[in-house]
Amino acid sequence: MSRTFALTNANLVCPVAGASKGAVLVRGETIAASGDIRIPKDADVIDCKGATLAPAIVDLGVFTIDIPACHAGGIVRVGLMPDQTPVLDEPGVVQRAALIGRPGLWIHPIAAATRGLAGQDLAEMAINRDAGARAVGTGERWIADSGVMRKVLAYAGDLGLTVIAHPEDGGVVGEAVATSGETATRMGLPSAPAIAEALAIARDLMLAEETGAKLHLRQVTTAAGFDLVRAAKRRGIAVTCGITPAHLLLSDIAMSDFRTFTHLSPPLRDESDRRACLQALADGTIDVLCSGHDPRGPEEKRLPFADSAPGMAGAETLLALALGMVRDEVITVERLMALLSANPAAILGLETGTLAAGMPADLMVFDADAPWLIDADHMVAIAGNTPFDGLPVQGKVRRLFKGGAELL
């Protein structure tokens, strides 16, 4: 049954309309109005009591479908990485992935750009698009063959699909698990220079410029990488880039106790690159803030650092960690919501991510000041491998709606 309700007495934050006080009226699955509005008599009223009301998060680039963790973090849509079992390189697999989480979590598959993510033969992009893929990606790997990458970009561009690339030169990275520098040397870890990132970005930007394709660099984490992205944007190349809170808030010093929760891909960088990440966030170079959600159990993390799997459980901590950057005045809360919802939605070609009338009623209500402690042992995620274990944060999701249906 279609329901009409109004969320009133809220601090509204919209990436387009900005911040204001007011209400949002929902009819059925859609936002009917927002702002200073008249509440119709047939509407149920939900008093937000001064909490923040914003578009729910679109998390671009998760590795695992983890509905409880997503809901706890205000996430109702995810761009699912192609690194699944089986790999998302066939239409049947893509179609099944797109339907798994509904109605509580909408999954937008990122189809593999090459068969088996092997970097050699192109996957059937057009068929996979028709099966529900919203983008194509290289997964957590780099396509070494420049000729193949050029074909990927050209083909995807013709189909109107964004290519989501992992920007690290695999030949330079090899089996490294850390960034070269004092920390990696002291720990005796196999390491690779940070320039591996800039090398990959430079090539892919040149190919994107030549083909006219849309390129999203899933995670950029170095000063040299951001310089290349800034220059490319000035030239008009259709490039966007993302990052996780881990690379904004942690340097490779966090690895010093050998705890494998800090084993990430790309690895944590040195302090100068971490500061460059914050600068890129502040100056608008970064377009997307994502969780990189990749929960891993003890069988993959309770190992020597070099033998452990990379990845972190990031979905339920994404909003709280991101709000810290608003409190530190690195970004405004409106820009934060663009990074979390409107921008990733645009990259995936989704009509959502704002509080405008006519948009899907994907909404979250959160208390930006609510304190809590990140505790790896008590997370709702499939696994609690967070590099922020023990960190006190502020910001808790109180209510969550997907298409007008309440999830939390």
Residue-averaged pLDDT of the chain: 97
Residues 387 and 281 in one domain: no
Question: What mean pLDDT comes out for the span 163-169?
Answer: 97
Residues contacting residue 216 through CB under 8 Å, at least 6 positions apart = 60, 135, 162, 163, 164, 165, 239, 240, 241, 242, 287, 288, 347
* Residue 199: count of CB within 10 angstroms of its CB: 20
CATH code, domain carrying 372: 2.30.40.10
2, pLDDT greater than 80: no
Cα separation, 309 vs 34, in Å, equals 45
Nearest CA to 154 among 114, 211, 202?
A: 211
Give me the CATH number covering residue 242.
3.20.20.140
Phi and psi, residue 381, nearest 5°: -65, 165
Please identify, among 315, 336, 354, the residue that sits at the C-terminal boundary of a domain: 354
CB 184 within 8 A of CB 256: no
State what percent of residues in the chain have pLDDT above 90.
98
User: How confident is the model at residue 101, as a pLDDT?
Assistant: 81
Same domain? For 277 and 350 the reply is yes
Looking at the fold, whether 189 and 314 belong to one and the same domain comes out as: yes
Q: What is the model's pLDDT at position 345?
A: 98
Q: Which residues sit opposite 33 in a β-bridge? A: 25
Same domain (yes/no): 235, 367: no
Determine whether 373 is exposed, middle or buried from the number of CB atoms within 10 Å of its CB (0-12, 13-18, 19+): exposed
Q: Determine contact, residues 35/11, Cβ cutoff 8 Å.
A: no
Residues 127 and 152 in one domain: yes
Greatest C-alpha distance within the chain: 68
Range of the domain at 95: 56-354
How many other CB atoms are there within 10 angstroms of residue 83's CB atom? 19
Of 295, 292, 299, nearest to 383 by C-alpha is 295
The answer to whether residues 231 and 288 belong to one domain is yes
What pLDDT sits at residue 315? 98
pLDDT single digits (tens) 77-88? 999 999 999 999
How far apart CA 375 and CA 394 sit, in angstroms, is 14
Give bridge partners of residue 20 from the DSSP assignment.
12
What mean pLDDT comes out for the span 179-186?
A: 97
* Residue 216 neighbours by CB distance under 10 Å: 26
DSSP state of 23: E
Tell me: do 328 and 290 sit in the same domain: yes
- Which residue carries 């109702």 as its tokens? 76
Both tokens of 78, joined, read 């995810």
Q: To which H or E segment does residue 147 belong?
A: helix 146-159
Last residue of a domain, one of 354, 370, 387: 354
Query: Which of residues 354, 377, 392 is at a domain's end?
Result: 354
Same domain, 178 and 324: yes
**Does residue 127 sit in the same domain as residue 266?**
yes
Over residues 388-398, the pLDDT tens digits come to 999 999 999 99
Is 0.75 topped by the overall pTM? yes
Chain segment 92-126, per-residue pLDDT in tens = 999 999 999 889 999 999 999 999 999 999 999 99
Place of tokens 């050029």: 150
Neighbours of 44 (CB within 10 A): 11
Tokens 């040195």 found at: 270
CA–CA gap between residue 74 and residue 315 (Å, rounded): 9
Contact call for residues 219 and 266 (beta carbons, < 8 A): yes
Query: Are 384 and 332 found together in one domain?
Result: no
- Contact status, residue 158 vs residue 135, Cβ threshold 8 Å: no
In terms of domains, do 366 and 323 share one? no
What's the domain count of the chain? 2
Tokens of 400: 């969550």
CA 16 to chain centre: 20
Same domain, 211 and 327: yes
DSSP string for residues in 238-302: -EEEEE-HHHHH--GGGGTT--GGG--SSPP--HHHHHHHHHHHHTT---EE---B----HHHHS
Cβ atoms of residues 169 and 194 within 8 Å: no
Q: What is the pLDDT of residues 297-355, one digit of tens each?
A: 999 999 999 999 999 999 999 999 999 999 999 999 999 999 999 999 999 999 999 99
pLDDT at 277 over 90: yes
Three-state DSSP at 377 gives: helix
